[in-house]
Structure 1
Amino acid sequence: MASYDSDSSGGEDDYTETNVLLGYASQEPTDDTISQLGGHPSWLDNASAPPAALARCKACNDMMSLLLQLNGDMPEHFPGHERRLYLFGCRRGTCRRKQGSVRGFRAVRLSKTQKQERTQETRPSEPQETQTQAREEAPAPSNIGASLFGVKPPTDVSNASSNPFATSSVSASALSNPFSTRPTASGSTLSNPFSNPQSPAAAAPPQPSPTASSLPETFAQKVRISLPSPSPPPSPPTTTEPWPPQSSFPTAYPSYHLDADYETLSPRAPTVPQNVRLDMDTDMDVDANSNSSSNTRDDKDTFESSLDTTFQKFADRIADNPTQVLRYEFRGRPLLYSTTDAVGSLLSRPSHIPANALPVPPCANCAAPRVFELQLTPHAISELEAHETGLEGMEWGTVLLGVCGSDCAPKGQKAGEVGYLEEWVGVQWEEVGGRR
C-alpha cells in the first residue's frame, strides 16, 4: 500500500494513489446495482430474509434504519461466495452514543462446490466420537474412512474391532443383573440380597414380603419401582422473529447509488510541527517572568497538539476527497477519528494478533480473527440527513466494520442457502462541541 504521507516535490501532476476505494453518493444509477447508501435493504434471496433481531437497536429494541448496503463479492479472496454487508442505525435521539445503536451483519451464500470443499476441510477437526461413528456407519466397499481420515481398511472384516460400547460376546448370564435371582454352580438359587428377606444382609428381622397385589393401589401407582423414571417433557422449539414488513420500520433515509474510485492524495508542502520552537538571536533583554509565562503557554500548546494529531490526520485525509461517504479496504487499516475513545484506544494499542487483523473479538461463529473491511465518513451524515429539518441528528465521526477473515457461513447451512451473521461494529462518536 502506498504511504499515507506524500513525498512528492509539489509538481502540478504529483499525487499519491492509495489502495483505499472511496464511495461517493450518487442520485444517478451506476454500474453497481446492489450497493446503496440509505433506502431499503434487498437480500441475496427474497425468500430468505434475516431474522428481525439483527436490525433491532440494543438500547431501545426498536427497529433501525438502513445506513449502508454493499455488494461484498470478492472472487479473488472467496471464490464461490456471494456476500452482502449491511449497516443499520437507530434514529431515536435517546439512543445516540449508546452501545448497540449501530449494528452490522453479513449475508453469505456458498455454492455447492465451495460448500463441499469446506466440509472436507473441517471434517478432520470433528470430535473423535463423531469420526468413529462415521467410520462405523460408512459402508465397507466405499472406504470413506480411508479417504477422509486416513484409516487403513481391516484385512478381515469379520475380525474388525467392534464398538467398545456395544454388547460383547460374553454370555448373557455374565452380563445379567447381579441383583436378580439366578442359579449357582451347585444348582441352588442365589437370591437378590436386597429383595430376599432371608438374606444375611437384611438388617430387619424376617418378615413376609408383601406381594404387589397386596399393596394399596395408590402406593403402587406412586412408587412404580419397576418402571423407569419418566423423561422430562421436551423443551419448546425456539422461534426466530421473521423480518417484519416495512411499516414496522422508522422512515427510511433517502436512497443513493454508490460510485467508486481509488483514493488520491494531493501533495502537501512541508510544515513545521507545532511543538517545535525556533530559538532566535536577539539583543533584547527578556524579562524572566515573561519568559516563564511563554514557556508554560508553549508547553500547553504542545500537549493539546499531541492530543489532536489523530483527528488532524483524519481531517486532512478526508479533505483531499471531501465528498466521500465510504472508505473500503478489505484487510486494510481503518482511518481513526480519535485514539482517546474506547474504539480508538483499542485499535491503536499494540496487540499480538495476525497481520492485518483487528484486535477485536474474533468471529463468534468460527473463531477466526476479524479484519477491517469498510468505514463510513462524516459526509454520509450530510447525504442521509439532507432533508432533515431538525438540528439533532447522527453524531458519529466514523463507523467501522470488522468482518470474519474467513467469510464463514452459519453452522448447519446447506449449499445454496443464505445465512446471516452479525459482525463487529466500532463507532467513534463526534466529540462534544462539534468537529463535523
Structure 2
Amino acid sequence: MSSHDEYSSDEEDDDLIGNNDTSEVYLGFVDAPIIDDEEDPEDNELPTIEDTFIGSKPIWLHPKSQPEESAITCDNCHKKMALLLQAFAPMDGKLYDRVIYIFGCKNSSQCSRTKGSVKAIRGISRDPERVAEIKSEQDSAIQKALDEKLKLEDQRKFNIEVTKDLFTKTNTNSSNPFGESSTSNPFAAASNPFAKKEEPKKEEPKKEEPIKESYAKIASKNAPKPQKKKISTISNDDLPAYNGSFVYVDLEKFKKEGLDPELEKYKHLIEKSEKGEESDSEEGPSNGGRGASKRRESSSGASIEASSVLDDRYFAAFTDKVKHNPGQVLRYNLGGRPLLYSGKDDIAKRFIGTFNIPKPGFNPGSERQFELQLMPKAIMDLEQIDETNANIADILNGMSWGTIIVGTDVEDFIPEENFDEHHVAYIEEWCGVQWEESV
C-alpha cells in the first residue's frame, strides 16, 4: 500500500484545498535579479549549482554534461524550450548533488495546452570529490550534534551529582540533612563533583537488521557494466531565455486574520458572482495576476460570468491559501501533496483520492511522489509584466498555466547507463500542468 493511501478522504481534501492551519511546505520567493553583463562583468550576479532561481540559462551539474536534446525540446513545435525554474534539491542522507529543472516552450500561441510543451528534468552528480566533500560536511554536522548531546548529558549528570544527597535523610535518629554523617555530606570527597571520575564504559553498538534492497539497487547490481554515456553537445547559447531572478526559500507561514490588501480590489467579483452578474474586468488576482483575468476572458476576449472563478472549491482554496503569501513562485513539499489550481481537469484526478502519478518507466518497481510546483506569480516575474499596467493582450499572449506540478521517483534512481564520464546523469520526470480555463 502506498503511504498516500493512509490518508482519509477528509484529510486528503484538507491537504489538497489547504484547510490545515499548519504547514510543512517550503515556499520560494523572488529575490535579486540575475545579472550577466558582458561589458561590465564586475557587476555580475550569477547563480551557481547550489542556487535556486527562475528564468535565465540553466546551470548544468557539469559544464560539459547536459541532458538529451529531446528533454529540452518542445514536442509540438520542436523548438528549444526556455528554463522556467532550476531548484537545487539535495535529499537527506544522499551523498550527491541533485537539481530539478523545469522547461517550457516560449511559443505560447501555438504550443500552450499541448502535451510536451512543459517538461521536468532531474539531474544527479556523483562526482567522487564532491561526494567526499558532502560526506565530510555531514560527518561534521553529526559530530557537532553528538558533542552537543554529550555536553548536555554531562551537565545533567553533574547536576544530579551535586544535589543527590542534599535532602537525603541518612540518620533515622536525626532529621537534619546537614548532620555530621559523612554519607550525607554533599561536599564529602566521595561525592565531590570535581573529583576525577571513571570514564563510563561505552556500549557496544547494536547490530542493525539488514535492509531489504530496492529494485533499483538490485537491478543496478545485476546489470552488465554499461558504457559511459556520450556527452551532449547542447549549448546554452542555443536556448531561449526569460529574465532571471534568484529565489530564496522559507517555511510557509499563515496570516492570522484580515484580507490581504492585494485582494481588496477583487472584492467586487464576489459580489457580482452572488448577483449572477457578468464582469469585463481585466484585472488579475494576487496569486500571480493571471488566474481570474484568464477565467473571465476567453481567447477571443469575450467576457464570461465571474461565478466561473468561484465555482471550483479547489481554485477558491488555492486563491485563499496563496493570499497569505502572494509573492510565492515555488512550493516544495517532498512526499506531500500539491496545492491544486483546479479540481476539474485530468491532473486533479491524479491527486484527489489515491495518488495516480505514472510510475517511472526507468524504474518500474518504484513509484513517484510529489516534490514541487511552480506558481503563477512566476509568470509575472519571468515575463516582467507590470501588474498595474498590464493589458489583456500581454496576458493572453504569454504563458497560460495555473501551476506546474512535478513528481519524482521515490528512490531517486537513474540507470547507470545515463551517467557520463563526469559522473552526471539526467532523467525526465513526470510533469503535470494545470492550464487556465478557456471558454
TM-score, normalising length from structure 1? 0.56
**Aligned match for 1:242, one of 232, 237, 245:** 232
1:97 aligns with 2:86: no
Residues 127-179 of structure 1: CA deviation (Å, up to 9, x unaligned): 99x79x99xxxxxxxxxxxxxxxxxxxxxxxxxxxxxxxxxxxxxxxxxxxxx
1:404 is aligned with what amino acid?
Answer: D
Tell me which residue corresponds to 2:27: 22
Cα distance in 2 between the residues matched to 1:382 and 1:306: 22
Cα distance in 2 between the residues matched to 1:31 and 1:125: 34
Cα distance in 2 between the residues matched to 1:363 and 1:127: 16
3-state SS of paired residue (2:251): strand
Tell me which residue corresponds to 1:314: 318
Cα distance in 2 between the residues matched to 1:32 and 1:241: 19
State the shift of 1:386 in Å: 0.7
Residues 308-346 of structure 1: CA deviation (Å, up to 9, x unaligned): 211100000111111110011111110001111111122
Tell me which residue corresponds to 1:371: 369
State the shift of 1:410 in Å: 2.1
Cα distance in 1 between the residues matched to 2:356 and 2:429: 14
Cα distance in 2 between the residues matched to 1:405 and 1:306: 35
| Residues 53 and 241 in structure 1, CA contact (< 8 A), matched pair in contact too | no
2:414 is aligned with what amino acid?
Answer: A
Written as runs of structure 1 = structure 2, the 5 A alignment for 1:58-73 is 58-73=75-90
State the shift of 1:52 in Å: 1.3
Tell me which residue corresponds to 1:380: 378
Cα distance in 1 between the residues matched to 2:98 and 2:317: 32
3-state SS of paired residue (1:426): strand
Bigger Rg, which one: 1
**Aligned match for 1:337, one of 341, 345, 349:** 341
State the shift of 1:248 in Å: 2.5
Does the C-alpha gap of structure 1 residues 340 and 415 become closer, same or farther in structure 2, counting only changes over 3 Å?
same
State the shift of 1:46 in Å: 1.0
Written as runs of structure 1 = structure 2, the 5 A alignment for 1:423-434 is 423-432=429-438
Tell me which residue corresponds to 1:265: 254
| Residues 49 and 60 in structure 2, CA contact (< 8 A), matched pair in contact too | no
2:19 is aligned with what amino acid?
Answer: D
2:51 is aligned with what amino acid?
Answer: I
Tell me which residue corresponds to 2:97: 82
State the shift of 1:101 in Å: 0.5
Residues 287-322 of structure 1: CA deviation (Å, up to 9, x unaligned): xxxxxxxxxxxxxx9x97994211100000111111
Written as runs of structure 1 = structure 2, the 5 A alignment for 1:119-130 is 125=218
State the shift of 1:268 in Å: 5.0
State the shift of 1:383 in Å: 0.4
Cα distance in 2 between the residues matched to 1:127 and 1:407: 13
**Aligned match for 2:423, one of 396, 409, 417:** 417
Residues 24-54 of structure 1: CA deviation (Å, up to 9, x unaligned): 1112679995211100001111121222111
Does the C-alpha gap of structure 1 residues 124 and 63 become closer, same or farther in structure 2, counting only changes over 3 Å?
closer
Does the C-alpha gap of structure 1 residues 400 and 253 become closer, same or farther in structure 2, counting only changes over 3 Å?
same
Written as runs of structure 1 = structure 2, the 5 A alignment for 1:72-221 is 72-74=89-91, 76=92, 78-92=93-107, 93-110=109-126, 125=218
Cα distance in 2 between the residues matched to 1:314 and 1:121: 36
3-state SS of paired residue (2:85): strand
Tell me which residue corresponds to 1:209: none
Does the C-alpha gap of structure 1 residues 79 and 342 become closer, same or farther in structure 2, counting only changes over 3 Å?
same
**Aligned match for 1:361, one of 349, 358, 361:** 358
Does the C-alpha gap of structure 1 residues 26 and 243 become closer, same or farther in structure 2, counting only changes over 3 Å?
farther
Does the C-alpha gap of structure 1 residues 86 and 304 become closer, same or farther in structure 2, counting only changes over 3 Å?
closer
| Residues 64 and 232 in structure 2, CA contact (< 8 A), matched pair in contact too | no
1:338 is aligned with what amino acid?
Answer: S
Does the C-alpha gap of structure 1 residues 127 and 364 become closer, same or farther in structure 2, counting only changes over 3 Å?
closer
3-state SS of paired residue (2:344): coil
RMSD between superposed Cα atoms in Å? 4.2
3-state SS of paired residue (1:347): coil
1:37 is aligned with what amino acid?
Answer: I
State the shift of 1:260 in Å: 1.3
Cα distance in 2 between the residues matched to 1:331 and 1:410: 22
Does the C-alpha gap of structure 1 residues 386 and 361 become closer, same or farther in structure 2, counting only changes over 3 Å?
same
Cα distance in 2 between the residues matched to 1:127 and 1:319: 46
Cα distance in 2 between the residues matched to 1:68 and 1:387: 18
Cα distance in 1 between the residues matched to 2:49 and 2:422: 23
1:99 is aligned with what amino acid?
Answer: K
Cα distance in 2 between the residues matched to 1:410 and 1:124: 10
| Residues 333 and 371 in structure 2, CA contact (< 8 A), matched pair in contact too | yes
Cα distance in 2 between the residues matched to 1:305 and 1:60: 31
Does the C-alpha gap of structure 1 residues 241 and 123 become closer, same or farther in structure 2, counting only changes over 3 Å?
closer
| Residues 106 and 421 in structure 1, CA contact (< 8 A), matched pair in contact too | yes
2:319 is aligned with what amino acid?
Answer: A
Does the C-alpha gap of structure 1 residues 305 and 106 become closer, same or farther in structure 2, counting only changes over 3 Å?
closer
Cα distance in 2 between the residues matched to 1:125 and 1:397: 40
Does the C-alpha gap of structure 1 residues 84 and 58 become closer, same or farther in structure 2, counting only changes over 3 Å?
same
State the shift of 1:432 in Å: 2.2
State the shift of 1:246 in Å: 3.3
Where does the alignment leave 5 or more consecutive residues of structure 1 unmatched? 7-15, 135-236, 275-300, 352-357
| Structure with more helix by fraction | 2
1:403 aligns with 2:392: no
State the shift of 1:406 in Å: 0.7
